Structure formats: C-alpha cells, structure tokens
Structure 1
C-alpha cells in the first residue's frame, strides 16, 4: 500500500477468488450483461452496507466464458470500514455471492501491492480431449473436444519454439496503441491419466486472444495439419494467419498469478507502469484487459 493511501486512512485489501466463467460475459463491468466484477462489487457493497460501490482492480480481465481458479483483485476501503468488517467479510461474501463465483481469501495487502501492476506472471491452463467419444459430460464446461487424434510430442516441439520474448502480433487481437510484445515463460502439454491434454501457459502478461490463438495453432500441429515448425513461422511473420483459429473460451482457466517479495513491490509497480506507458487505448494495459 502506498504512503498516499495511508495518509487518507484507506486500507488496500487483497481478494483471492475463483469463478466458473460459463454464465459470465467476462470480468469487466458491462451495461446490460452479467460480469464477475459487478457480482463481487455489488456483494461487497451489500455486506458492508455501503452507499457507494467499491471498485475492484484485477490482475487480468478474463474474456467471456473463461474460468479462474487463482484470480487476484484489490479494493481500497476506508480504515474504519475495514476494521468493522475484516473478521466477518469472507463468510458474509460467501453468503451473498452466487455459487459460480467465490472469494477464498480476504487480507490486508502489503505496502505498494497492486493486483494488476505488481504481478510478474500469470499462469493459465487450457484443457482439450481427443477422445473419439467426446468430452466427459461432467467436464463439458471446462474441456474442449477436438475431433482428431493429437500428437503430444509434436505439440510440445511446436511449443518450445515459441518461448521467450517476442512480438506476438500474429497471435493477438490488436488494440489501438497497445504493444503485443510479451515474454512467454512456459508453454507445455501433458496428457493426464484421464486422457485430457492440458497445456500450461505462463507469461509476464498476455494480449487479447493470445492463449487461445496459441492453443489453436498447436492443435493444428497436433492433428497433423501443419508441421511443428509452423507456429514459429507464423510468429516470425508477425501477421495473423487465417489457419490460426482462436479456440473456444471454456477450455481456458486462469490458474495462478505471481507476485514478487513484499520489498520488491514498489519497484515492480514502477517498472510495469513505465513499460506500459506507451499503451493508450482500451485494453492497452499489458494483458490486464480482454485477455486470452
């Protein structure tokens, strides 16, 4: 929490949360559609008996249909409000929130913590099955069915060629004034015991549609339609290839957000803001809006 916040008698509160994205039109508030942000902000207003609605800042604004298991947000509350509600806020939120969104932890944040700008990486998982009979009905809202056999080794070979810092313009939906340069730290596939293929995708940040476009390219490799070197060639070309399909959102889950040690938060915030200062336009905040 910054000294400015303390001077105003405001406490920064961290919320760790999860949601099933199927019935949400993404994280960010919209006028007529149901969103995760609106549900949580309204629940906070009601349980704390506030006239004004608290405003959340989130680590990554997930798209419609995308799930989260390890989402992080923060909210600034007056000191006296936090003191009154801190001990009971978690349980009261559980009683007020709908069953498809849960807050699992509420805590006073360390100095300089910012859910968005302090994050040093985000980790997503994408799940797909190539079983000829389709998806297990109990997993249908979280696993994509691909109607071709998939070669795990070919997909991992393709994934390895995409790691590092690159301009991912070929795999992102462009936004005016927003950079598409990202550092992809991890991209690998495993086949679970139940036959589901699970991709782990970790980066400093993501641009719009990036994860789902990368997955679409690797599925095209896995089913034999393209060679393993093809996704890297698309990346190097720097333009969208019509063969790269953005796969459906329901297979994607935000699993975890990483933050530095408490004494490194201030420096991280400054570095993030400086890096993103050239981004002007909606969603131009390095993966924090309209992501994946």
Structure 2
C-alpha cells in the first residue's frame, strides 16, 4: 500500500517505531562483544576496508567523521575505536541515549546530535573529513536532493562521503516468495510505501508501533542527487552479501547473509558509493 503522506507525519510515525526498536536491538546486537577492545562491528570492518584506498594513508584514525542515522551507535563507536573523532546523528532520542551509554562504558569519546537527517547541516557543529552512512538508511527519506545537500554541507573541501546500503532492486523483491520475485516499485514516484510489521530485522521481539513509511529510490536517483549537490563520484560497487537476513531464504556467510549460491549472481544485495567534495 502507498500513500501521499506529509513528511512530518511519516517522520513522527517512523520515530515511534525506531524508539521501540532500541531495547530489542540492544539485546540483539551483542553489545557485550564490544568489551573486547579489539572488537569492531562487522559493518565497520567491511566499510573501513572499502574506504581505505580513498583515505589519507589508508586509515580513518585522526579524521573528523559524522555518522548519519547512527541508531544505537555500534558502528559509530567502532569508528571511534579505529581512531576517528566521531559525531553520531539520529532522530531517535532513545537510540542516542543507548549509543552514549555504550560509548561511556567503553571509554570512547563521541558527540551525539538528535536531529532529522534532512536538517543535519543546521544541527551539527563544524565540518568533517568523512560523512558516513551505512545499511538501512535512505529508504526512510522522501527527498534525496535535500539529503545530498546535507551531506555536501557537512563535508569540508576534499572530504569523503561513503554510503553502503541495501540495493534498490533488493527492496523491490518479495522477501517471502519462493524465488526472486519482484513485487514492489523499483522507481519511486514520491509516494510512501506503508508497512505494518511488528517484527524487526534483528532479534525476536516485536514493536508496539508497527506502522512505518519508506520511499523507493532507484540507483540513478541516488547517484544523481550526490552529483547535483556538488560531489564527485569516485567509486560505485554492487555487492552480493548483506549484514542482515533480508529473506528467510538467504543463508549465512562470513560477515552476513546471501542468496543461495545458484541465485547469488542474479541480483545485487547492496551498493556502495564513495564520493568526494572538491
């Protein structure tokens, strides 16, 4: 089902859902693993390796990093553990409180900013060497032109933008079908897709506020929004694995999940874009 809903209403509804997810994800994300000082989230292990060729000296240590849509901060504190000076941004006060608590427990410094990502430039102080976002982010946003403007505005000259997220063609698939079956729009028309699902992608618990709104964005729109905002595209890649189980048919592989081997090369699961601000 789709709806031409206002952004304020959709954002408020989605925030209620994400507030409900906080305790479920605190339990599901194995936060005790971070007690090992050498531990990094699997997402950050993958993303740091992908960013390395584009970073000064191949490392993020010593750089100012803004993590947009940071949720409970597991990836943000992993970036801090890698030596970055981090600022985590999210619209969920519960998620940011959880993130701040995790950072304090680990003795890691971080700044946390509660704001809608589409207003991030006005809410976040300073500019950054790297703006980072990864996994499950921009489908929650109706306006990618405005999003890309925030990214560009947060970057200092020469700064790097990195995103890895679920591929738009993946989100067009019916995750419960017996095969790779397209059921949802690949191309967006500005209308929100309405979901009523009490489950979440991690853990076995359920949320009270089950309704959410998401928007389809084809890969061309994502790339064009960044170019229009003034960024130079350096690298685009499509991947075959995901850090969460999208479908019951996906199977566990190192650092994530993938379609059965016979289908693995038929459809991408993620895309990665690396861009620079001139």
Specify the structure having the higher radius of gyration (Cα).
Answer: 1
- Range of TM-score over shorter length: under 0.3
TM, length-normalised to structure 2: 0.24
More helix by share: 2
Which structure exhibits the higher relative contact order, with contacts defined as CA atoms closer than 8 Å and separated by 6 or more residues? 1
